[in-house]
């Protein structure tokens, strides 16, 4: 009998009833211990894939399947929520096979190395204890790239990798299209650049109200100093941020930060919805 014959027969009803929805699946051994946690955009397809041809997997995966005595799953509202829930459960339970089956596939994050003199926002798949700020994980390379592009449009930090000395005779094109404030050519102070990075971090944390208040103060000062072109750019930046967040339809009155978990159970199914509220905004 193949290692998968018994599990397939035992879980036939469950495999047939699995929903084609995003969620997290949990494999347990005969002792009730969680041995593997995974996420899927379509639970039905992903879980069933473990019980297909034995020749399609490495020996480690075949050993995992042979030890499965129970399967649980949790439905989520999206693949991104499944990703976050998977990360939480893996951190909490440290399943044996989540460690053994690790490969080079890591989910993407946005990274800001705040220890650098002139930080920039990068995409990375590795998290280190290096003093950097990390934001994520993102469900796909496409989603992290779209977020990076959005942040770049809103905040003019440098995207180049060159060493910044301030001695360049002229800035690159990004300065002239207002995508960078030109530290390479000493067109901004260190304090001004740090403000851009601080605002970028606040945006990624969901603290948009604080950013727009800060930008409006800068806009008023620029106008009072007769720097009308700068005031107009700041106005456009405020409007762009407002457009980005205008889809918000729920607000918490006391404007607090919270993570809200909604749980519902029905017979053999459980549903989890996670809401991230920052400054009262969902």
Omega of the bond leading into 137 within 30 degrees of 0 (cis): yes
Separation of alpha carbons 21 and 140, rounded Å? 17
The pLDDT of residue 3: 40
Task: List the structure tokens of 237.
Answer: 């930046």
| pLDDT the model gives residue 17 | 86
User: Lowest-confidence range among 27-36, 134-143, 172-181, 249-258?
Assistant: 249-258
Sheet holding 269-277, edge to edge: 34-40, 23-28, 70-75, 269-277, 258-266
pTM above 0.85, yes or no: no
Output the pLDDT for position 76: 87
CA distance 281 to 245: 9
Nearest CA among 111, 112, 236 for reference residue 178? 236
Q: Tell me how far apart the terminal alpha carbons of the chain are, to the nearest angstrom.
A: 52
Could you tell me which residue, 39 or 139, shows the higher pLDDT?
39
| CA 130 – CA 115 distance, rounded (Å) | 8
Domain map (residue ranges) of the chain: 5-100
Query: Whole-angstrom Cα distance, residue 175 to residue 172?
Result: 6
Does the N-terminal peptide bond of residue 219 adopt cis geometry, omega within 30 degrees of 0? Answer: no
Helix H, strand E, coil C: the string for 113-132 is: CCCCCCCCEEEECCCCCCCC
Average model confidence (pLDDT) across the chain: 82
Is the pLDDT at 265 greater than 80? The verdict is: no
Lowest average pLDDT, out of 123-127, 200-204, 207-211, 271-275, goes to 271-275
Q: What is the DSSP letter of 165?
A: -
The closest of 102, 90, 93 to 58, measured between CA atoms, is 102
Query: Two tokens at 93?
Result: 């339970």
pLDDT digits (tens, 9 = 90+) for 141-198: 777 888 898 889 889 999 999 999 999 999 999 999 989 999 999 999 999 999 999 9
Q: How far apart are CA 157 and CA 203, in angstroms?
A: 13
Q: Is-contact 64 27, C-beta < 8 A?
A: yes
Three-state secondary structure readout of 219-242: HHHHHHCCCHHHHHHHHHHHHHHH
Pair of tokens at residue 65: 């399947």
Dihedral class, residue 112 (left if φ above 0, else alpha if ψ from -120 to 50, else beta): beta
CATH fold of 5-100, please? GIY-YIG endonuclease (3.40.1440)
pLDDT score recorded for residue 159:
93
Task: Give pLDDT, residue 170.
Answer: 94
Q: Which tokens belong to 117?
A: 């003199």
Instruction: Quick: pLDDT tens for 58-105.
Output: 777 888 888 999 999 999 888 878 887 887 788 788 888 886 545 445
């Amino acid at each position: 009998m193949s290692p998968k014959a018994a599990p397939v027969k035992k879980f036939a009803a469950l495999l047939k009833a699995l929903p084609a929805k995003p969620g997290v699946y949990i494999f347990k051994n005969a002792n009730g211990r969680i041995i593997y946690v995974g996420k899927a955009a379509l639970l039905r397809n992903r879980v069933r894939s473990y019980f297909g041809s034995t020749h399609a997997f490495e020996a480690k995966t075949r050993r995992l399947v042979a030890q499965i005595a129970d399967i649980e799953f949790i439905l989520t509202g999206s693949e991104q929520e499944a990703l976050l829930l998977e990360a939480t459960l893996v951190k909490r339970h440290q399943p044996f096979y989540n460690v053994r089956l690790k490969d080079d596939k890591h989910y993407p994050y946005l990274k800001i190395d705040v220890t650098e003199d002139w930080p920039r926002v990068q995409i990375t798949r590795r998290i280190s204890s290096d003093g950097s700020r990390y934001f994520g994980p993102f469900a796909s390379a496409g989603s992290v790239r779209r977020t990076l592009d959005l942040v770049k449009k809103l905040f003019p930090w440098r995207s180049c990798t060159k060493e910044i000395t301030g001695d360049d005779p002229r800035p690159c094109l990004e300065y002239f299209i207002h995508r960078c404030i030109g530290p390479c050519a000493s067109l901004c102070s260190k304090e001004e650049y740090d403000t851009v990075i601080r605002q970028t971090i606040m945006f990624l944390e969901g603290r948009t109200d604080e950013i727009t208040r800060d930008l409006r103060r800068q806009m008023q000062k620029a106008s009072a100093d007769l720097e009308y072109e700068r005031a107009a750019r700041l106005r456009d930046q405020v409007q762009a941020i407002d457009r980005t967040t205008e889809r918000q339809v729920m607000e918490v009155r006391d404007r607090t930060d919270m993570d809200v978990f909604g749980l519902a159970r029905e017979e053999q199914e459980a549903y989890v919805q996670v809401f991230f509220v920052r400054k009262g905004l969902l």
